[in-house]
Structure 1
C-alpha cells in the first residue's frame, strides 16, 4: 500500500503518496496549470475534461468531482460536508490504495484533495495514467473486440467482485484495455466494499445495458455472443 502523507491547511485536506520524493504541491490540483502543460483525455463526464500531466518520469490523471443525475441541473460540483474521511476524494483514494496494494488492476492513487466551504466541499483526485489503454467504449466504436478480450473482461470483473468491491458506475467507459490484453477498471467514485449479496448481478446488468447503448449509438459490434464470452470469463474466474 502507498505510504500516505497528509497536508492540512485552513479548509483544505490532501492525501498524497509520500514516496513521490517531493513535498506536497498545490499545482497537482491546479486545472489551469494542467490545461497549459497537460493533455486532455476523452471524458465521459459532460462537465470538465479529465487531464493528463507528465510529472518527471511519471504520467498522472487529474479528475475533478462533478455532480451527476438530476441534481447536476442545479449544483455543479458541491457536495454536503460530513467530515474529511467521508469526502469523495478521500474515500476513493483510500479504496484505490487498498485495491492496488492487493494487486487488482486499478490505477495507483497519487493524491486527493477536498476543500471545505462551510456546509459544502469540492474535491479532486490524481491517479497514475495507464499508458497504452483505451476505453471499452472506444474499442466498440472502432469495431469490437477479439473473443479472448471479452473473456478477460469477465475474469477481471469477477476478481474485483470477489474482493467485495461494488463499482456503482460499471459501464463501457470505465473499463480500459491495452494492446497486451490487460484489463483495468477506473473511476471508483462512490465505490464501496460490501458483503456478498445480489449486488454483483446488478452491476453486470448495468454493464450489459451500457454496452448495448454504446453499440447502438456508435454502430459498434456487441452481440449476444460477446456477452456470452464475457459471462463465461466471469464464471470461470475466482478471486
Structure 2
C-alpha cells in the first residue's frame, strides 16, 4: 500500500506523515508527556535510551527519539548535522518504510516523523506502528528457542528484503522480530534501497552472524552452530533469493 505522504510545518521544523494512517499529526504526538497525561503512554526497554509505546489515533505506535551511539554520543547526544529536510534521519527512514510497505515486505507501518532545527543541527523523532505480541531473535536465542526451523524462516525473510534491494544498516538479532503473524525486520535508520549486489548482501548476513555469535549462539561451538543454525539459514536464504 502506497504511503500518502504529507508534510506540515511545525515549530522550528517540520512533520512528515502518512495521511492514510492519520489525516492530522502535530508536534504533541512526539512528546511522551502528552501521551502520559492522557494515560496513553507506556515505556519499554530497548534501543538507545529505550522506546515508548503510545496509543494514538493511528493505533498503538512505537515512539523513537533518534540518539547517537558510540563515542560521538558524548559530544553530540541527539543532535545531527543539518544538510536539508530530505536528508534528515526521520524523513529518510519513514520514506524507506513506505517503500517497504508498498513492496509488501514485513516491516513497521510508517506513521510520522518530525525534526526540529537547532541552528546547524537538528533533532528528530519517529512514530511507527507497533508489531503486536512480538519478541526479538535475540530473546529467542536467550530462551534457547533458536533452532533450524526458525533459522530457515530468518533466512527467508532476509532474502525477501535483499531481493528487493532493501539494505539494512544494522542487521542484528535485536532487529529481527518473531510474531504470530510472521517475521519482521525493524529499525531501518540509515537503511536504503540499492541495486541488489552480492557484496552488500553478504556483508549484511555476516553482520547478523556476528551478532548471533556475540549473543552466545555458538554455545556448543562455532562448528556446531555453522552445521545446524547457520547452514539452515543460508540454504533457505539462497533459495528464496533466486526465486
Q: With the length of structure 2 as denominator, give the TM-score of the two structures.
A: 0.89
Q: Deviations over 1:171-213 (max 9, x none)?
A: 0000000135x11000000001222330111111110000011
Kindly report which structure 2 residues correspond to 1:80-229, keeping only aligned pairs within 5 A, or say none: 80-180=81-181, 182-197=182-197, 198-215=199-216, 223-224=225-226, 225-229=228-232
- Aligned CA-pair RMSD: 2.2
> Quick one: distance in 1 between partners of 2:22 and 2:70?
39
Aligned to 1:235: 238
In structure 2, the CA distance between the partners of 1:108 and 1:57, relative to structure 1 (3 Å rule), is closer
Say which is worse superposed, 157-166 or 32-41, in terms of deviation: 32-41
Cα drift, residue 218 of structure 1: 9.7
Structure 2 spans left out of the alignment, 5+ residues: none
Cα drift, residue 26 of structure 1: 1.9
Contact residue 14 and residue 114 of structure 1 kept, 8 A? yes
Aligned to 1:39: 42
Kindly report which structure 2 residues correspond to 1:14-33, keeping only aligned pairs within 5 A, or say none: 14-33=15-34
> Quick one: distance in 2 between partners of 1:21 and 1:76?
30
Say which is worse superposed, 34-43 or 152-161, in terms of deviation: 34-43
Q: Deviations over 1:5-27 (max 9, x none)?
A: 21113521101121245422322
> Quick one: distance in 2 between partners of 1:217 and 1:77?
35
Structure 1 spans left out of the alignment, 5+ residues: none
Contact residue 82 and residue 88 of structure 2 kept, 8 A? yes
Q: With the length of structure 1 as denominator, give the TM-score of the two structures.
A: 0.91
> Quick one: distance in 2 between partners of 1:123 and 1:184?
24
Q: Deviations over 1:133-187 (max 9, x none)?
A: 111001111112242221011011011111111111000000000135x110000
SS at match of 1:200: helix
> Quick one: distance in 1 between partners of 2:36 and 2:149?
37
Cα drift, residue 32 of structure 1: 2.2
Contact residue 141 and residue 217 of structure 2 kept, 8 A? no
